[in-house]
Amino acid sequence: MKDYYAVLGVARNASESEIKKAYRKLARELHPDVAGPEGEERFKEVAAAYEVLGNADKRAQFDHGVDPRSSNGGASAGFGFEDIFETFFGSAMGGSSRRGPASRTQRGGDTLVEVEISLEEAVFGVRHDVTVDLAETCTTCGGTCCTPGTKPATCPQCNGNGVVQRVARSLLGQVMTTAPCPRCGGYGSIIESPCTDCSGQGRSRERRTVPIDIPSGVETGTRIRMSGSGDAGPGGGPRGDLYVEIREGAHKTFERRGDDLHCTIELPMTAAALGTVATVETFDGPQEIDIKPGTHAGATVTLKGLGVGKLQRSGRGNLHVHLDILTPDELTDEQSELLRKLAVLRGEEFAEARLAPIGGGVFARLKDAFLGRA
């Protein structure tokens, strides 16, 4: 049994597009009109290989050790020569994938613009004005591409059909093929008097300011689609879409992790030992937090609902306030004496360092705070 994969020069796990690409390349090289009569047999082998590998069912049979061509004595009724004709002639037998002339009216392209916002704007959302260069329908010709008062003329070469026919020689003899008209480009008409303001394009580029409502919860990489706000289409066609990609700036105090915010406040050692009420400046204004006596470094206080707005659902994340306890590095004689007296009262004047049990200590508390368990 002939190895059709080897004939086409592709791997056994080649994709459908890879098989088709290999076939077309070989078919062009081996066609008798190119390679001469000596390439005819090899051309037939390539066509037979593609007949099998280009059909999912036949390929499956071949992969299981059955040559589907041997069961019907050669080329099957299901083998279409359309691929061969398409390879060389575009479309054949008078047929065409496009019926009639092409339209000059097309949808405009999509446009991507980047917008940088602050963390606070990401928390609450913001209305932002974006300046962007867009293709706009020509106000002079209204997208017709013609000088006002004129219109496209029927192409004399294709008589308005947009395609022309020609006779080509193939293995099957003479074949009538169709191709886009070279005179009008397939439109079926010719613009003899193009609009001077848009150079016959039906549109021109202009700078526009587009207002955008950016919802809360967006982050770097979020894309907002504004349907119908992109480039105007050629020939007065509909507009494309405008995509706004968000870039979130860093904040000097708050760090964002998903929908939650994190910040750190510094407390004197005495305030942590005795307890106090601390005021934290948040995006929602000043908030008081209760510091309990004996608070350790790395402890976390969570303020519910003061984080970032959730993009696809209601509510907001939380604000996690991490506590950093400051130990004085410079003491007066009087302060040092007071601390010594405190150490004596607490029985710590000869205190020795000891290992903390698993699950305890400042590092465990820091881990719990990071994982949201504090």
Q: 125 with 216: CB under 8 angstroms?
A: yes
Counts of helices then strands in the chain (DSSP H, E): 10, 16
Report the C-alpha gap between 85 and 33 in whole angstroms.
13
Among residues 31, 10, 13, which one has the least CA distance to residue 21? Answer: 10
Annotated ligand binding at 145? The verdict is no
> According to the annotation, is 146 in a ligand binding site?
no
155 assigned to a ligand binding site: yes
198 annotated ligand-binding residue: yes
Indicate if the alpha-carbon torsion angle 248, 249, 254, 255 is positive or negative. Answer: positive
* Beta bridge partners of residue 92, listed in sequence order: 177
Q: Which residues of 149-174 are buried (b: 16+ CB within 10 A; e: fewer)?
A: eeebeebeebebbbbbeeeeebeeee
**Can you say how many angstroms the Cα of residue 66 is from the centroid of all Cα atoms in its chain?**
43
Cα-to-chain-centroid distance, residue 72: 48
Q: Which of 362, 366, 118, 370 is nearest to 260 (CA)?
A: 370
The CA-atom distances, in angstroms, between 238 and each of 98, 105, 344 are 21, 8, 84
| Binding residue ranges for Zn(2+) | 138, 141, 155, 158, 181, 184, 195, 198
| Binding residue ranges | 138, 141, 155, 158, 181, 184, 195, 198
